[in-house]
Amino acid sequence: MSVIRKNLPNALTCCNLICGCIATGFAFSGSFGWALAFIVGGAVFDFFDGFVARLLGVSSPVGVELDSLADDITFGFAPATIVYALLRDAQWPLADSTAGTLLPYLAFLMAAFSALRLAKFNLDTRQTTSFIGLPTPANALFWGALAVGWGDALMAWAYSPYVLLLGVLLSCYLMVSEIPMFALKFKSFRWADNRLRYSFLLVSLALLLVMGAAGFSAAIVLYVVLSVLAARRPQAGANSSQR
């Protein structure tokens, strides 16, 4: 039993990694719905591996390294593959040229920047109750939901590859940026202490009900906007008090 207890969190982390591999396979074939489903499945395993490790008191350096590796596959490589597939199959003027063949591979910059973000997170002591930069699961959910909700339209629109490539660059920047972003961690359940979190969850639920799976992408955009506004508010207050 002690062997099972010791290795259970790592087994859950490996399930996360396997979900990421399966999501990548579906992404290459253009099955974005299944790819998103396995990214979400990986996120569930990612939540429970840390929860179980803390519950059983069996956290280990190996678990930390394995968790980052699994996260880069599920939340870095899989969404990068989704964007690659969108770019590969898009109908745009450069589609049949050498540039059109090579440019889709720029999507894999996202996997590299996801790895960089995860490495920074492991060493950054500031990110215990909030995040600095966009979390990789949020980035993965954005791209997976975008492909599910708007994939056909994006592949038919002549200008979508340019927008997608700009989106990749923006994602890479946001993940390694110094922008503070709130976490959905509750120290209490009082409205006054969690106004931002509750507001985000309520609006996100409405988006999901109205837009379906595509609502995830809108919710992530909302998350980034609210985080930026929340980060600027104390600064604005400080500046006004100095005048």
Residue 233 has pLDDT above 80, yes or no: no
Tokens of 203: 């609006």
Q: What pLDDT shows up at residue 138?
A: 95
* Mean pLDDT over each residue of the chain, to the nearest integer: 88
Range 153-165 average pLDDT: 88
Residue 177 to residue 116: CA distance in whole angstroms: 11
Range 67-86 average pLDDT: 96
pLDDT band at residue 241 under the 50/70/90 scheme: very low
Residue 136 to residue 127: CA distance in whole angstroms: 14
Q: What pLDDT shows up at residue 1?
A: 57
Residue 52 to residue 116: CA distance in whole angstroms: 26
Q: What pLDDT shows up at residue 238?
A: 44
Q: What pLDDT shows up at residue 6?
A: 74
Residue 212 to residue 114: CA distance in whole angstroms: 26
pLDDT band at residue 242 under the 50/70/90 scheme: very low
3-state secondary structure the chain: CHHHHHHHHHHHHHHHHHHHHHHHHHHHCCCHHHHHHHHHHHHHHHHHHHHHHHHHCCCCHHHHHHHHHHHHHHHHHHHHHHHHHHHHHCCCCCCCCHHHHHHHHHHHHHHHHHHHHHHHHHHCCCCCCEEECCCHHHHHHHHHHHHHHHHHHHHHCCCHHHHHHHHHHHHHHHHHCCCEEECCCCCCCCCCCCHHHHHHHHHHHHHHHHHHHHHHHHHHHHHHHHHHHHHHHHHHHHHHHHC
Q: What pLDDT shows up at residue 234?
A: 55
Tokens of 81: 């593959």
- Helices 215-242 and 195-211 cross at an angle (nearest 10°) of 150
Residue 82 has pLDDT above 90, yes or no: yes
Q: What pLDDT shows up at residue 26?
A: 97
Q: Determine which of 17-31, 99-113, 128-142, 225-239 has the lowest per-residue pLDDT on average.
A: 225-239
Range 39-67 average pLDDT: 85
Question: Under a CB-based contact definition with an 8 Å cutoff, are residues 140 and 115 in contact?
Answer: no
pLDDT band at residue 230 under the 50/70/90 scheme: confident
Range 82-104 average pLDDT: 86
Domains located in the chain, CATH noted: 2-185 (1.20.120.1760)
